Each structure stands twice: as structure tokens, then as C-alpha cells.
Amino acid sequence: MSSVAPASGLRERNRVRRTRRVERASLELALEHGVDHVTVDMICEASDISPRTYFNYFGTKEGALLGLGNVPYAESDIEVFLSAGGHIVEDLLHLVAATFVASEPDRDVYLMRRRLFAREPELQGLQLARMAGKRHALTRVVEQRIAAERPDLPPAEVCDEAQLVVAVAAGAFPVAGRVWAEREDAAEHIEVVIADVIARVRRIVAS
Amino acid sequence: MSSVAPASGLRERNRVRRTRRVERASLELALEHGVDHVTVDMICEASDISPRTYFNYFGTKEGALLGLGNVPYAESDIEVFLSAGGHIVEDLLHLVAATFVASEPDRDVYLMRRRLFAREPELQGLQLARMAGKRHALTRVVEQRIAAERPDLPPAEVCDEAQLVVAVAAGAFPVAGRVWAEREDAAEHIEVVIADVIARVRRIVAS
DNA sequence: TGCATTGTTGCAGTCTCTGCAACTTTGCCG
DNA sequence: CGGCAAAGTTGCAGAGACTGCAACAATGCA
């Protein structure tokens, strides 16, 4: 209920402003000193917030670095995925991409994050860890679609297949994101990039 | 130098025995009380070791739960991968599987770990996070092989391709592991399972 | 046996994170 | 406007994870 809140009240606007300020501050500090030479107290001082409040917002020290990625998949996007008839991995990537785009309005912060992640791979690990929760949910959705598409498949196979689909998508998404971020020139539609990446995966696995 | 050490001396044998004792104790405690109701002190008391030594061994509280997965890829296995001429994802999975098998001699502990992971998905996330570090190393190895196989490919493409190969393998490995663990009846050789899983991935991506 | 290497431990201290109880701000309605 | 309820922020005390250091113990080796 809060993820897509229209930021109407003063309260909401303050919250958003604060979040941005803290995220930006934490990223700047981490880029300058390295993640583990940054303390929560430093972040708080730089963004004028109390440590207690920091944890209320972000939960962990790295929370601000990763961003509040708690945005759940929109019902409507899930419906689209379930009733889409395209290549399943491709459709799934579109679902993920839509959610991603919806949750990340600040390109500036996004780029800093990218730079930081490139420098400190452990963060990417944390990112993955956070995704792990979502993967469960996602896998179920994929199972649903597979079961609907091929009703004669035994449930165990459906489960395996869904896991593999999610795994491939989860692996391909960062690559697609990277390619997309590099070709910032024309803001090429992510659909093209996704199709391209899938084609590559196909070639790799088929060879 | 220590990963494949033949446990010749008393020193080495002590180390192995201790490691096992601590891992087992931590898993038992976690299965009984839940991960976050277990403290390092509890683990230490149960396994008769000092907290300081615990951290020397495992580094983090969850270290003992995840197992000493710090085993680096053996040079020899890497060489095999680099000069192998098979399907690249398959060869890579064999490399990973070989390392995995080499580091996990205790089936008992392995099963407890499996049970715990099923109960607490967050741990799976940590597992992934830990892998993230290795992924870098692996990606480089894969790049090396791709570059050798197709010298005319531009470096950027090599990089992308390697990332995708690693991503697919990383996604497929847990599934292969699961299938393999379930078919414990005949201890079927993991090679068969791997080939099977890859075939599935191929079908998924190709459809 | 004696010495060098390696490993274990306790200690002091820093940092992350939590529950709780004030306190402050915002939203709202008469 | 005034005042009340809801929501949010903060400080504090404390548990627990983790580290560097220096003493101490065990092991390997000549």
C-alpha cells in the first residue's frame, strides 16, 4: 500500500525526500571510503537523521546502499505475464524489468549504485540474497503458467522447470541491465535488449 | 594449499575434527531453535571451543551453518575445464560439481544443512552471497576459455558471454544438486544429472 | 631435547541492530 | 483556531557479532 502511494500528504513527501537523501549520502560515503569503512553513524551524520531512524527505514547497514527494493510485483504485471503467450523466459524478464523500472525513478542514484556494485562484488551478493525471497514468489507464478500451458506435465517436472526458468531469468537480468545501462545514448527500449540477451543464452546453451 | 591437504599431520586431523564438531553442533542448534535464536556463544559451548577460535575458523556466525565453502577451485580442475572441448556450460558445471564434492565429505552434515536451508530461505540467500565472490573468479576463467576458443570475438562480447555462461551454470547447479540429492538410491553419477538438467535448460530457452 | 611454527584463547573495544518509552510532527475534525 | 489521535522520530540501554592484539599452548622438526 505504500509502494505505489501517490505521495499526497506532507508526511509522505518528507519520507520520500529523506529516503533519497540517506541513500545518496550512503552511496557517496561508500564510494569514497569503501563499504566497510563506512559506519551507520557516518551515514546518519551526513544525512541528518538519527541512527535509530536509519534502522527504521532500512533495517540493515547495507539497506540504504541496496535501496528500498521491497517493491512487490504488481498484480497487473503478473496477470500480463500469466496470459502472455510469448517465450516464457522473455515474458518473465519483461515482468521483472517492469517492476524494476517502476521502483527506480532516480537515474542518478542508480548509476552510483552501479559503480559501487562494480567495485564491491559482495554487495551484489547481498542483492541476490534479498532477491532470494522474491524468487520463491516468482517461481510460484511461473509454475502457474507452466501448469496452465502444459496440463499433462507431472507436478514435479513443473516445479523443476519453473526453477530453471527463474534461474535463467535471474541470471540473464543483470546482464540485460548492464547492456541497457551502457547503451544509454538512445534509451533504447529494454525489450530489444532482453530479446537480444535471450538469443545469446539460446546460442550458448544450444552450441 | 590447505584445501586438498592430505590431513597427514596431527595438526591437520585436529582441525578437521574440530570443524566437523562445530558444524554439526551449529546445525543441531539451528534446527532446534531457529537460526536467529542461536548465538555464537551457544555454538561454542556446545562444541567446546572458544568464541575467538570460532571466528578464526568460520568468520561469521552463519559460517558454520553454510560450511567452510572457502575451498577454492583446484588448479587442476581449472586446467581440465580450460582444455576440455565439450559444451561449455556442462564443463563448467562439472568443475563446480568437482569442487563441491571435494569439499563435502560428510553426507550426514550435508542432509542437515539441506533440511535447515529448506526451513530458512534466508540462508540460501547467504549461500548465494558467498558465491558472488567466487563468481568473479569463475567468470574470468570462463572468459579465458571463450577467448581461446574464438579468438576473433571482441573482448566486450567475451565478457558478456562469460557472464551469461556463469549465470546459467549458477542457476542450474542448485537444481542439479536437488535432483541429485533426491535420487540418492543409486548414488547416480552427477554427470548424468548435469547432462539432464542442461538438456532441460536447452529446451526451455529454445522453445 | 630445544626451537620455530602454528594454533588457541582471553580481553578490550567497536559496530550493528532491537525493544522500549518519551517526545514531536502531521492529519483531521469540531 | 484548538485539540486530539495517529504516525513518526529519537535517545537509551543492552545484546550480540566481530576484530586486533598479545599471551599462551600445541605441534613439527632438526
Share of chain B above pLDDT 90, in %: 38
**CB A173, CB B57: distance < 8 Å:** no
Amino acid occupying residue B86: G
Model confidence band, residue B1 (pLDDT cutoffs 50, 70, 90)? very low
* Nucleic acid strand D: bases within 7 A of protein CB: 7-12, 15-21, 27-29
* Nucleic acid strand C: bases within 7 A of protein CB: 6-11, 15-20, 26-28
DSSP calls for B106-138: -HHHHHHHHHHHHH-HHHHHHHHHHHHHHHHHH
pLDDT digit string (tens) for A144-184? 999 999 999 999 889 888 988 888 888 888 888 778 777 76
Residue B3 pLDDT exceeds 60:
no
CA of A14 to C1' of C26 (A): 11
pLDDT digit string (tens) for B99-116? 877 776 677 888 899 899
Q: Which residue has the higher pLDDT, A69 or A181?
A: A181
- Return the C-alpha cell found at B174: 542448485
DSSP calls for A131-151: HHHHHHHHHHHHHHHHHHH-T
Quickly list H helices, chain B: 10-33, 40-47, 51-58, 63-66, 75-83, 88-103, 107-119, 121-149, 155-182, 190-206
**CB A35, CB A26: distance < 8 Å:** no
- In this structure, the dihedral spanned by the alpha carbons of residues B98, B99, B103 and B105, taken in order and rounded to 10 degrees, is -10
Rounded to the nearest 5°, which phi and psi values hold at B68? Answer: -75, 70
Instruction: Give the Cα separation of A48 and A21 in Å (integer).
Output: 9
- Return the C-alpha cell found at A94: 519483461
Residue A3 pLDDT exceeds 50:
no
Instruction: Give the Cα separation of A205 and B97 in Å (integer).
Output: 18
> Do the Cβ atoms of A125 and B132 come within 8 Å?
yes
Quickly list H helices, chain A: 10-33, 40-47, 51-58, 63-66, 75-83, 88-103, 107-119, 121-149, 155-182, 190-206
Rounded to the nearest 5°, which phi and psi values hold at A143? Answer: -55, -45
Q: Give the chain B residue nearest A160 (alpha carbons).
A: B175
Which range, A135-144, B125-134, B197-206, has the best average confidence (pLDDT)?
Answer: A135-144
> Do the Cβ atoms of B88 and A125 come within 8 Å?
no
Instruction: Give the Cα separation of B180 and B192 in Å (integer).
Output: 9
Residue at minimal CA–C1' distance from D20? B52
Looking up cell 572441448 gives B85
Q: Give the chain B residue nearest A168 (alpha carbons).
A: B168
Domains in chain B (CATH in brackets) are 10-66 (1.10.10.60), 75-206 (1.10.357)
Instruction: Give the Cα separation of A33 and A88 in Å (integer).
Output: 42
